[in-house]
Amino acid sequence: MKSKTLSAILFAAAALGSCSDFLSIEPQNAVVPSNFFQSESDFKQAVDGTYAPLQALYNTESGWAMGEMRSDNTHFFYNIDYRSPIPEEIDLFTNGSENTITAAKYYSNFDMINRANQVLAVIDDATFDPKVVANFKGQVLFLRAFAYFDLVRNFGGVPLHLVPASDLATASLPRASAEQIYEQIIKDASEAAGLLPDKATAEPGRATSGAANTLLADVYLNRKNWSAAETSLAKVTGYSLLSSYASVFDPNNKNNAESVFEAQFLEGTTLNLHSYFPYYFVPLTVNHAQYTKGPTGSQTAPGSGWNTPTEDLLAAYEDRTKDQRFNASIGFINGPSLVSDTSYVNLPYIKKYQYPHSIYGQTNQNFPVYRYAEVLLMHAEAANEQGKTADAAGFLNQVRKRAGLADSPAKDQAALRAAILKERRVELAFENKRWLDLVRTGNAITVMNAHGAKLKASPGYYYLTAATYNLDQNKLLYPIPFLEIQVNPDLEQNPGY
């Protein structure tokens, strides 16, 4: 019998991250860190709670708006009846520091860091099975490294919290440099890789040594340390590509052989562990169930109409009839719309995550964070940047073969570099990778300004102004949330905000 996945046990006491010393006498009938961490069960509950912010990162706009709509992969469907400027401005590069979506990513990551710090502060004193202690410690080190990696790529240097905040002074730190943040990420992820079990022996849904080494490789790719990335990737073993691309995302096939790490969700509980994000990815329509594959009781899906595939992305698929990723990822809608004076004519939508579910607004869909296909493409990039073009082509072509395509014609380093980036675009479409790929490869300003110019030249995008899609170096980072700047005078805002 399979062990239960992490999504079934994510509910944990949030009080662990909200304790303070405002009271001079510690209450004896409340759960606080000093009286909570007593048994293995207590630690397990706290570790489970450290995973919880992942759901906010991947089930809300802070994932897809900042990772996909910010790029040339997707955009919003302009709805004259219902405007929501907060995600729109992220797409259009007009967002400011008061944007609540970018702030949500910032706070969710620091929530994860705070929860990890609570465990790390006491885990070395635990007296139960040392193997279990090591596993728990490895998981929270991985999650802290993961959260800081998400922060540094999106916001640059941020406060470096390594112990639980106990007063105003320890809660209000100045920004560390990006270099300092990366050093800590590498330290945490490296230690986690040595402590965590492999996929074969880990409980499904939890961090593994493979996940930690994949995170390390991702960090090294961002730092252009190609040989270190290659070394980390060589340690990611025990995974394989599934023969069917669509089956990778089937919720009946969670945490499969290709899955390195997934954000876990579960339909039908009283703990709000379900995912909603697939509903955002279909247009407002008179029959959402036809596309979301949910129950037919409610005809509309609030919040729909976002993350719509662009024509640029559709054109990136080199052979739609052979490439199984196209049909698995993208569908088309024709027919009536709930938007005034609008009918859909071959309007694309994200089909990749649309699977049957029985409760309206509650899907059982996990979100893929790292997959073995990406590990292979990381291998290709690391090898190619070291001049190992034959090795790079071999890794690249494994991904293409599964998709149903012939080997890439690219042979030299420059051609392979472009081919790998393009392959990442279609293989990892709608997995929140594209914007960060453009930034780390130095292509964001050129690609997105050109993309914006093309849209502005089309009558269909009459609502775009001169201020939209106007990128410079400052737009490569998001702003530190306005409220953080207000409450912490030691924080400096990113340039341009």
Assign residue 417 the CATH number of its domain. 1.25.40.390
To 5 degrees, how large is the angle CA 438–CA 441–CA 447? 40
User: Alpha-carbon distance 205 to 51, whole Å?
Assistant: 10
Q: What is the reported pLDDT for 392?
A: 98
Contact status, residue 105 vs residue 149, Cβ threshold 8 Å: no
Question: Model's pTM, two decimal places?
Answer: 0.93
Residue 18 pLDDT grade (very low, low, confident, very high; cuts 50, 70, 90): very low
213 within domain boundaries: yes
Contact status, residue 486 vs residue 480, Cβ threshold 8 Å: no
71 within domain boundaries: yes
Q: What is the reported pLDDT for 493?
A: 97
- 383 Cβ neighbours under 8 A, 6+ residues apart: 226, 230, 389, 391, 392, 395
Residue 27 pLDDT grade (very low, low, confident, very high; cuts 50, 70, 90): very low
The first and second tokens of residue 160, run together, are 């470096």
117 within domain boundaries: yes
User: Alpha-carbon distance 291 to 349, whole Å?
Assistant: 9
The first and second tokens of residue 295, run together, are 């129950």
Contact status, residue 236 vs residue 260, Cβ threshold 8 Å: yes
Region 162-182: what's the mean pLDDT? 91
Contact status, residue 370 vs residue 214, Cβ threshold 8 Å: yes
What's the start-to-end Cα distance of the chain, in Å? 54
The first and second tokens of residue 458, run together, are 């089309």
Question: Mean pLDDT across the chain, nearest whole number?
Answer: 91
Measuring CA to CA, which residue among 348, 47, 357 is closest to residue 207?
Answer: 47
Contact status, residue 159 vs residue 481, Cβ threshold 8 Å: no
- pLDDT tens string 186-238: 999 999 999 999 999 999 999 999 999 999 999 999 999 999 999 999 999 99
pLDDT(6) > 90: no
The first and second tokens of residue 355, run together, are 């699977």
Residue type, 390: A
| Number of Cβ within a 10 Å radius of residue 362 | 21
Residue 142 pLDDT grade (very low, low, confident, very high; cuts 50, 70, 90): very high
339 within domain boundaries: no
Q: Indicate the number of domains in the chain.
A: 1
316 within domain boundaries: no
Mapped onto helix, strand or coil, the DSSP state of residue 94 is: coil
Q: What is the reported pLDDT for 463?
A: 92
pLDDT(24) > 60: no
**Domain extent at residue 232:** 6-270+368-487
349 within domain boundaries: no
Q: What is the reported pLDDT for 26?
A: 44
153 within domain boundaries: yes
Share of the chain above pLDDT 70, in %: 92
The first and second tokens of residue 294, run together, are 């949910």
251 within domain boundaries: yes
